[in-house]
Amino acid sequence: MKKIDLLTPVGILIGLTMVLLAIQTNTAGGNLAFFFQWASILIVFGGLTAAILINFSASDLKLLPGVFKESFQTQEHDLQELIDTFADLSTRARREGLLALEAGIEDVKDPFIEKGVLLAVDGIEPEVIKDIMMAEVAAMEERHRKGRFIIEKAGEYAPAWGMIGTLVGLVLMLQNLNDPSTLGPNMAVALLTTLYGTLLANLVFLPVANKLAISTEDEVFVKQIVVEGVIGVQSGQNPKILQEKLSAFLPNHSKTRQEEEEEIIND
């Protein structure tokens, strides 16, 4: 189940707030309006947009809104509940046969689990089931990687366009050394473009890309548990053995909690 992940917007907000507070508390440069320069904004955002448009196709760029949306959501995985689900499926399969699983499969909310169980019910060999399901996992990874790659590239291009703006500002400043009134504005363009580009890369693009990579790793990990569970059910493994096998995927703190609950039940 996906929920709104507040950590992403909160993290960005905290980062911006700290930078603005640092500027405001600096008596030498406390004027926030000085840090807002249209020339710097046009160079960084305009150049970054142009580079992204050149680098990627229209079909790739269509993924961008969905990718950013994913960074503001979190997927909760109850691994213990998942393991218990396969233990129940294994128990039912051993008692009533694999065909009996098809009747109640619509109750399973995860389409990946449903697909695996239906493959098992159809009598497909375990190796083939694993190949089919892992191919779907690989396709999912590739889709996620393609969308994440756009953000990673934006993280690379933003500081580079900041440096381009710096060079533009320095050239303008050197051309007008005889006019002291132009030195300040040109120097502002030179330095603020670097600030904008670096801030965008290190506060937005790179952290979001890394968060998406971690999210993909978590999803792949859960799907690997599903694959092992489906193979266990299809091969008729003892429910207790299957549960113990899948419990190896649980983190240590979850194992400890599970063992404590089992001791309470046994007592």
pLDDT by residue for the chain (267 residues), tens digit each?
A: 677 888 889 999 999 999 888 887 765 555 677 788 888 899 999 999 999 999 999 988 988 888 888 888 887 788 888 899 899 988 888 888 888 887 777 777 788 988 998 898 888 888 999 999 999 999 999 989 988 999 999 999 999 999 998 998 888 888 877 777 777 777 877 888 999 999 999 999 999 999 999 999 999 999 999 999 999 988 888 889 989 999 988 876 555 455 555 544 445
What residues are paired with 73 via a beta bridge?
Answer: 4
Tokens of 223: 């799907």
pLDDT at 180: 77
Answer yes or no: is 197 within a domain. Answer: yes
DSSP E strand boundaries for the chain: 2-4, 73-75
Distances (CA, A) of 229 to 18, 96, 98, 181: 47, 18, 14, 72
Q: Are 82 and 226 in contact (CB under 8 A)?
A: yes
Q: Residue 37: what pLDDT?
A: 82
Supply the pLDDT for residue 253.
Answer: 53
For 164, the domain range is 38-65+77-267
Cβ(58)–Cβ(233) under 8 Å?
Answer: no
Tell me, yes or no, whether 1 lies in a domain.
Answer: no
Q: Is residue 19 part of a domain?
A: no
Angle between helices 206-234 and 64-71 (to 10 degrees): 80
Q: Whole-angstrom Cα distance, residue 123 to residue 234?
A: 8
The answer to the question of residue 24 being in a domain is: no
For residue 138, what are the CA distances in angstroms to 141, 143, 203, 225?
5, 9, 30, 15
> What is the DSSP-derived secondary structure letter of residue 35?
G
**108 located within any domain:** yes
Q: Tell me, yes or no, whether 10 lies in a domain.
A: no
Does residue 17 lie in a domain region?
no
- Separation CA 117–CA 114 (nearest Å): 5
How much is the pLDDT for 264?
47
CA terminus-to-terminus distance, the chain: 34
Counting the structural domains of the chain, the total is 1
Residue 21 inside a domain? The answer is: no
pLDDT of residue 47: 95
Residue closest to 123 by CA, chosen among 159, 89, 99: 99
Provide the pLDDT for residue 258. Answer: 52
Regarding beta strands 2-4 and 73-75, do their DSSP bridges make them parallel or antiparallel, or are they unpaired?
antiparallel
